[in-house]
Amino acid sequence: MKLLGLFRHAKSDWHDAKARDFDRGLNARGRKGAALMGRHIVEHGVKWEQIIASPAVRVAETIELAAKAAGREVPVIWDRRIYLASSVILTEVLHDLPDSVNKAMMVGHNPGLEDLIFDLVPDDGTCPLRAKVEDKFPTAAYAVLECDIDSWADLHDGCAKLVYLMRPRDLDPELGPEPADW
Look at the chain and count its residues: 182
- The residue type of 3 is L
Task: Give residue limits of the domains in the chain.
Answer: 2-10+23-174
| pLDDT tens for each residue of 67-100 | 999 998 888 999 999 999 999 999 999 999 999 9
Separation of alpha carbons 94 and 97, rounded Å = 5
Separation of alpha carbons 157 and 21, rounded Å = 30
What pLDDT is stored for residue 178 in this prediction? 64
Q: Reduced to 3 states, what is the DSSP secondary structure of residue 72?
A: coil
For residue 5, the cross-strand partners are 105, 144
What pLDDT is stored for residue 181 in this prediction? 46
pTM (whole model) above 0.85: yes
Task: Spell 63-76 as b/e; 16+ CB within 10 A means b.
Answer: bbbbbebbeeebeb
| CATH H-level superfamily of 2-10+23-174 | Phosphoglycerate mutase-like (3.40.50.1240)
**What distance, in Å, lies between the first and last C-alpha atoms of the chain?**
36
Determine which of 15-19, 46-50, 139-143, 170-174 has the lowest per-residue pLDDT on average.
15-19
Is the Cβ–Cβ distance between 145 and 120 less than 8 Å? yes
Is the Cβ–Cβ distance between 145 and 121 less than 8 Å? yes
| pLDDT tens for each residue of 119-128 | 999 998 888 9
| pLDDT tens for each residue of 127-176 | 899 999 998 999 999 999 999 999 999 999 999 999 999 999 899 878 77
Instruction: Return the closest-CA partner of residue 48 out of 31, 73, 85.
Output: 73
